[in-house]
Amino acid sequence: MEGDRLYGLGACDMKGGLAAQLAAALEVEDPAVDVSFVFYPCEEVAAEHNGLKHLFEVRPDLVQGDVALLGEPTSAAIEAGCQGTVRVKALYRGQRAHTARPWKGQNAIHRLAPVLERLSNYDGLRPNVDGCEYREAMQAVYVDAGVAGNVVPDEAILTVNYRYAPDKDSTQAEQHVAELLEDCDELIVDDHAPASRPALQHPLLQTLISRNQLAVKAKLGWTDVARFSAHGIPASNFGSGDPSIAHTRDEYVERNEIERVYSALLDLLKNGVI
């Protein structure tokens, strides 16, 4: 602790949001709205391991509702919807040879040069979806290549992550990536979590926003809002902490943001939708 700032991995993403939810749950014995508090693991890893996914599969009764609020870091604002994220592996083949005679082969790593330049110059769209501006991005995140220090490599696998706005569906997103990586020999979709459009029309969300004068903006990143949306449940992100410092070494959360989230949740639980 330094003053009213708490440092530590996970403080921002998203233990601050969890603290506000737990404090509100303990404070209100007879809530004015029917509320369930659901806590689950593995939100940050591959989709197949996601705890909320498993709950929808084995205990859907625990996650049913008219609306969902996730305690993701939003600096005590409403961050609506979320970006989709697709991760692909692009295989580039070459021909193995001795580095003393590279003209007898084809360097698979060198074949990456044009696509890496395209990715470096990629200018993501900034679509406005239901009043929220999203910003798309595509990045090379991993290269797996090389045989030995004296061998021209005959294979290179480039992993690319595309973050896209909720005006695209899954098929359109994968097609967009395929177009940019059209010179690869094989393209494999390694992981894909679809986007979610903002869902701000629900009376409970409108009440939360208006009564607490909350700022509203697009969520840059993927969250489990998308899983609720896929099951027909409108959802938004609302928690303490600056999302831009999540996962960093100096991650922290401010006390006043936890208190603001707590106060807004407490008001909703005590007074309901008026």
Domain of 101, CATH number, reads 3.30.70.360
Positive or negative torsion for Cα 178, 180, 183, 184 = negative
Counting the structural domains of the chain, the total is 2
Of all residues in the chain, what percent carry a pLDDT higher than 70? Answer: 100
Do 16 and 116 lie in one domain? The reply is no
Model pLDDT for residues 209-255, shown as the tens digit of each residue: 999 999 999 999 999 999 999 999 999 999 999 999 988 999 999 99
Structural domain of 103 = 84-193
pLDDT at position 77: 97
What percent of the chain is modeled with pLDDT above 90?
93
pLDDT beyond 80 at 169: yes
Last residue of a domain, one of 137, 162, 193: 193
- Supply the pLDDT for residue 48: 83
Write the CA distances from 40 to 9, 53, 59, 211, 242, integer angstroms: 18, 10, 12, 29, 22
Could you tell me the CATH number of the domain that includes residue 229? 3.40.630.10
Secondary structure (3-state) at 156: strand
**Mean pLDDT in the chain?**
95
pTM of the model: 0.88
pLDDT above 90 (res 117): yes
Domain boundary among 166, 193, 220: 193
How far from 245 is each of 10, 14, 98, CA to CA, in Å? 10, 11, 46
The answer to whether residues 51 and 148 belong to one domain is no
> Does 203 share its domain with 181?
no
Whether residues 218 and 189 fall in one domain: no
Q: What is the arithmetic mean of pLDDT over 129-154?
A: 97
Same structural domain, 126 and 188: yes
Same domain, 153 and 174: yes
Give one DSSP letter per residue of 226-265, joined into a string. Answer: HHHHHTT--EEE--SS-GGGTTSTT-EEEHHHHHHHHHHH
The predicted pLDDT at position 247 comes to: 87
Q: Do 122 and 201 lie in a common domain?
A: no
- The distance of Cα 218 from the centroid of its chain, to the nearest Å, equals 12
Mean pLDDT calculated for residue range 1-27: 94
- In tens, the pLDDT along 35-92 reads 999 999 998 777 788 999 999 999 999 999 999 999 999 999 999 999 999 999 999 9
pLDDT value for 44: 79
> What's the confidence (pLDDT) of residue 127?
97
Same domain, 202 and 266: yes
**Are residues 106 and 240 both part of a single domain?**
no
Same domain, 159 and 204: no
- Residue 274: is its pLDDT beyond 80? no
